[in-house]
């Protein structure tokens, strides 16, 4: 590292309960419109309602895990099939052809009834599908297997599939978190299209014009992909940091699909969702005072 570069510590443990949703500045609004222009799937932020809670354990350390199954109409209901159809699908060569739309949130620490810390995850599904799994044991077993596998694949830990309990007196553990949901139908999910090109920019001239018109100070920023063509290796977010802003004034937080940059109220907080998931554990952020540029390299999860 050169003497003019400063390493910036990153907090990779973003939880929705710690996020402060702020009104977008004109520059951020323009930036997010650019992002949405290359992704035909719109999104919405929803707060699900409680459904039921599952207690299980990890292997081999036997750590307690709570899974809050919660409900929102923003998630489509899977196509309705019979038990016989489900059995045929599961025994076919392509059991993944039957999709169950769900949103898996990030883990957070909650306290169990004895006051001991445990990890909790929220998994949101459609309320109509909830009715089906409540009254049909086969679909409930199938659904919970899908949830366990989804959590294991996403967060790289192993669940004891034979050691789980549906809580009778608790519908959820802790406060349910908001979910960013893609608005799409089930047919689109079963025929997923290829990813589109991801290059987004907002230049200084545009931001300066927005500042003049609205008399709001914003940090000029842009997001681009590397390499420019082919398979994406990482996203690169660049921020023009005014020389008046010191390193100690900056607070950068990276979630799997979200970036927040605050400056202790000196400038408007930047808060936007990333167009693809990134690896929070190997984020590289460098502040170059020669060019007053903060560069944040975020490897993409393939």
**pTM exceeding the 0.85 threshold for the entire prediction:** no
Residue 180: Cβ within 10 Å count: 16
272: left (phi over 0), alpha (psi -120 to 50) or beta: beta
251 shares a domain with 175: no
pLDDT of the residue at 194: 33
154 shares a domain with 71: yes
Query: Average pLDDT by consecutive 10-residue portion of the chain (302 residues)?
Result: 43 37 47 48 79 94 95 90 86 77 91 91 95 91 91 90 90 90 53 37 43 53 82 88 84 88 81 85 89 90 82
pLDDT of the residue at 184: 56
pLDDT of the residue at 133: 92
Query: Facing residues of 50 across strands?
Result: 70
Count of structural domains, the chain: 2
pLDDT of the residue at 62: 92
Q: 3-state class of 279 per DSSP? A: coil
Q: DSSP readout, 144-211?
A: HHHHHHHHHHHH--EEEEEEEEE-SS-S-SSPPPPEEEE---HHHHHTPPPPPP-EE---HHHHHHHH
Domain limit, last residue, from 190, 224, 247: 190
- The parent domain of residue 61 ranges over 43-190
pLDDT of the residue at 264: 80
18 shares a domain with 106: no
Domain limit, last residue, from 149, 169, 190: 190
156 shares a domain with 69: yes
283 shares a domain with 237: yes
Tokens of 21: 């949703």
229 shares a domain with 116: no
Cα–Cα distance between 125 and 69 in angstroms, integer? 7
236 shares a domain with 103: no
pLDDT of the residue at 207: 45
Residue 241: name the closest of 2, 5, 3, 1 by CA.
5
Spell out the residues 6+ positions from residue 131 whose beta carbon is closer than 8 angstroms to its own.
Answer: none
216 shares a domain with 167: no
Q: What is the CATH number of the domain that holds 20?
A: 2.60.40.790
């Amino acid at each position: 590292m050169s003497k003019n570069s400063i390493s910036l510590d990153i907090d990779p443990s973003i939880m929705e309960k710690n996020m402060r949703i702020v009104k977008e500045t004109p520059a951020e609004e323009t930036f997010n419109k650019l992002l949405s222009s290359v992704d035909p799937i719109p999104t919405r932020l929803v707060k699900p309602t409680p459904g039921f809670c599952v207690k299980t354990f990890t292997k081999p350390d036997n750590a307690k895990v709570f899974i809050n199954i919660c409900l929102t109409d923003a998630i489509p209901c899977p196509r309705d099939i019979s038990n016989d159809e489900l059995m045929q699908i599961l025994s076919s060569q392509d059991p993944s052809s039957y999709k169950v739309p769900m949103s898996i949130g990030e883990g957070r620490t909650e306290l169990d009834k004895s006051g001991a810390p445990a990890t909790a995850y929220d998994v949101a599904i459609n309320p109509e599908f909830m009715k089906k799994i409540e009254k049909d044991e086969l679909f409930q077993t199938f659904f919970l297997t899908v949830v366990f596998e989804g959590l294991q694949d996403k967060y790289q830990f192993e669940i004891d599939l034979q050691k789980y309990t549906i809580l009778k007196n608790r519908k959820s553990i802790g406060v349910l978190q908001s979910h960013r949901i893609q608005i799409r139908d089930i047919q689109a999910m079963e025929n997923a299209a290829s990813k589109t090109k991801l290059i987004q920019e907002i230049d200084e001239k545009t931001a300066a014009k927005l500042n003049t018109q609205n008399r709001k100070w914003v940090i000029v920023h842009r997001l681009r992909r590397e390499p420019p063509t082919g398979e994406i290796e990482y996203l690169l977010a660049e921020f023009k940091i005014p020389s008046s802003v010191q390193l100690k004034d900056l607070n950068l937080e990276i979630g799997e699909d979200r970036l927040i940059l605050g400056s202790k109220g000196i400038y408007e907080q930047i808060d936007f969702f990333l167009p693809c998931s990134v690896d929070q554990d190997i984020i590289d952020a460098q502040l170059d005072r020669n060019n007053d540029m903060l560069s944040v390299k975020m490897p993409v999860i393939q």
